[in-house]
Amino acid sequence: MNPRSSQCPDAGREPPGVVRSSSPLSSPLWCVLPLLLWVGCSGSGNRPAPTPTPGEDSQDAGCVEPPPQQTPDAGERSDVLTPSRLLRRASLALRGTPPTDAEYAEQESAGDDTAQRAFVDTFVDETLQQPVFYRTMFEQARDWFNIPLIPRTADEPEYGVQQQRSIQRCPDGTAKAGAWKYFRGDNNACSGQKPDGTTPADEVSIEPWWAPGTTVTLVGYAANLSATGTGSVNGNPVTITCATSGPEGTCGCGPHAVRCHADFQTYAGFEDFVPYNGEGQRRLASEEPARLFAHLAWHDRPMTDLILGAYSVAPTRLQAAYVMQGIEGGATSLLDDDSWWRPSRFSSAPVDPEHTAGDPAAWREYSVPARNPFLLAERDYRFDPRTTTGAAKGIPAAGMLTSLGFLNAYPRERVRGARALETLACEVLAPPSGQTFNEYKRDPGTEGPCQHCHRRLDPAAIHFKRYAKQGSATEGWGAKYLMPGVGTVWHWPARWRTGEYPYGGDPFAHWNRWYAADTLLTPVTEAQAQTNPEALFIDFLPPEHTLLGQVSDGTVGPLGFAKLILAAGAFDKCVVRHLHAQVLGRDIDPAKEAGYLDEQTARFIAGGRKVRPFVKALTQSDLFRRGR
C-alpha cells in the first residue's frame, strides 16, 4: 500500500468530527485523490496517470513504480503477488479452479520465497501438459465463439444436418425381432412382409458404419439393394435412382447402411436433437469449432489453422454428416469409403487427450475434403462466374468457417459474415449516431443508414453465399443443404429467378430478393446475371473493394475471407486479446493500449502462433505477477 494511505480514514477509523458516508464522494479529498490516481496507474481509468517529475513530492508518489522502459507491461502496477496468490492466479487461468489444499501445502514446504515462486513455474509447465488445459481451452473457445445449436427444421426433434433416414429395431415378439427397419413407411417389415401384405420382405446382413466389427440385419425397404426405387412427387409415384436419391421411397440404406442412422430411442430423432446428449450430432456440430481451437492449442499447431486449415476434428457420428453432404452433392463413391468409420483406418489420427486413438467417439483430426470433396483441399481456388460458365468445383475448406456447425447455425450469409467479423476479427458493428445518410432504395451496402455496418459487413458476407438450407426434416432426413453452382447436382433451370413453382420458397426467395445485381453483396451487372443467373453467387471480393483495408487475391468462399482478416492483422490481435483475457483476467483495449497489443501480438506471431508457449509467456510476465 501507498504509505500515504495511512492518512485516510479507510483504515477503519475516522478523524475527529468526520462522519462516514456510504458515498465515496463524501470522503475527504486526501482520501479520494489517491484512489483516483491508483485507478489511473492500474490501467483502469480513461488515461494513464502522469509521471511525476523527479524529486517532486506529488500526491501519487509511491503509487506508481515505473518499470524498465523495455518491459511490455509499462504503465501497470508493480505490486508483486505473494507466492500463494500467484499459484492461485495460475491455477484459475489454466484450469479454471483454485489450487487444492495439497498443492498449497506442497508449495509452502518448497522453502523460501524464491523456491515457492519456482514451484509456480513448475506448476504452470505441468498444467500446460495436462488434459485439463485442453478442457480449459475448449471451454474458453466455446464461450468466445458462442455458436448456437443448429435450429430445428420443423417441430422437435426435426434436425436435418445428418441427412440420414432413421431406422429402428423390430420389437421382441415380431418375426424379425432385432432387425432394423425404417422408422416410418414400412409397417409390415417386422412381420417379414411387404407393405401390401405379400411376402417376403427384403432382408440383408451387413457390417454397419455405427458398429464396426459387428453384423446387423436390415429388413424391408431399408434392405433394398436395387438400383432404382419408387418415390412420390405431389402424391404421384415416380421412379427414382437410388444411388443419387438416397434412402427415399423404397430405396435402401446403401452399403454399410451409410445412408441411414440407427436410432436406439423410443422416438426417432431425439437422440441427436437434444442438447444435453454430449454425443448427439446436433451438439457435436455446435462444438466442433471450439474443439478445433482446443485441438490446435493442445497439439501446438498454429492458430491460423482455425480459419485456414483443410482439416478439422470430429468423432465418427459427426463426420457422417460431412460424408452425407458429399453424397448429396453427387460424390457417391463415398458410399464405399470406410476410412471415416472403421477404427483401423483412423487409429493413427491425432485425438483429444480425453480419448484414446482409434476411439470412434474421440475428437480426432480428419481431412475435410476427404469427407466432403466439395469442400476443396486447394488453398487458392478461384472461380469467377461473371466470366466462367459451368460449375464451380466447390469452396475451399477453411477450418471452423466451413464447419457444419457454423454454416448451419447462421442460415444467412450476412449473419455469417457479421459473426465471423465479430468473433474472429474482434470487429464491433455498432449502430451510427448523429449521421446523415443518402436515401435507401435497394442496396444496404451503399444506401441508407444500414450502410454504416454493411460497408464492412457485405465484403465479408460475400464469401459465405454458396451454402443454404432447403425444406424441412423428418427424423433427421429430408432437408437439403444446397451449395449453388457447385458440382453436378446444385443447379436449377433459369426460371428459378422468377420465383415460379417450385422455386417460390427459401432459399430461392432469399436469393432473388437479396442477391441483386450491382450491389455491394453481388457485384455483377444485370446483363451478366441475365446471361448466367449463377453469376449472382459470386463469392469472392473483387479488387475494386476491400475488407479491413485488404484487397482479395481472388480465393473464393470463407477461405478468401480468412485470408483477408489474417492479412489485416485483425485475426492475430483478436486471438491475443482473448488469450490475454483468459490468463490475465482482462481484455486489452485496442485504442488505449495499442502499443501493448502490438507487442503481445508480435510475441504471439514470433512463437509460431501457438497457444501453449504464448500462454506460458503471459504467466511469466510482470503483469501476471502483480496484484494485491
CA–CA distance from 206 to each of 172, 216, 217, 317 (Å)?
21, 6, 6, 18
Q: Which H or E element spans position 45?
A: none
Residue 601: the pLDDT is 98
The CA distance from 580 to 576, in Å, is: 6
Residue 18, pLDDT score: 35
All three cell numbers of 463: 464469401
DSSP state of 397: -
User: What CA–CA distances, in Å, run from 454 to 330, 361, 431, 461?
Assistant: 35, 41, 11, 9
pLDDT of residue 475: 80
Q: What are phi and psi of 420, to 5 degrees?
A: -65, -40
The pTM assigned to this predicted structure is 0.87
Task: Report, as ranges of residue numbers, the positions in the chain whose pLDDT lies below 50.
Answer: 1-72, 74, 77-78
SS3 231: strand
Phi, psi of 312 (to 5 degrees): -150, -165
Using CA atoms, how far apart are residues 462 and 476, in angstroms rounded to an integer? 29
pLDDT tens profile 88-113: 999 999 999 999 999 999 999 999 99
- State the pLDDT at residue 57: 37
**DSSP code of 318?**
H
- Domain locations along the chain: 1-64, 83-136, 165-258, 281-565
Residue 224 phi, psi dihedral angles, 5° rounding: -65, 120
At residue 73, the pLDDT reads 53
The span from the CA of 379 to the CA of 364, in Å, is: 22
Question: What single letter denotes the amino acid at residue 584?
Answer: L
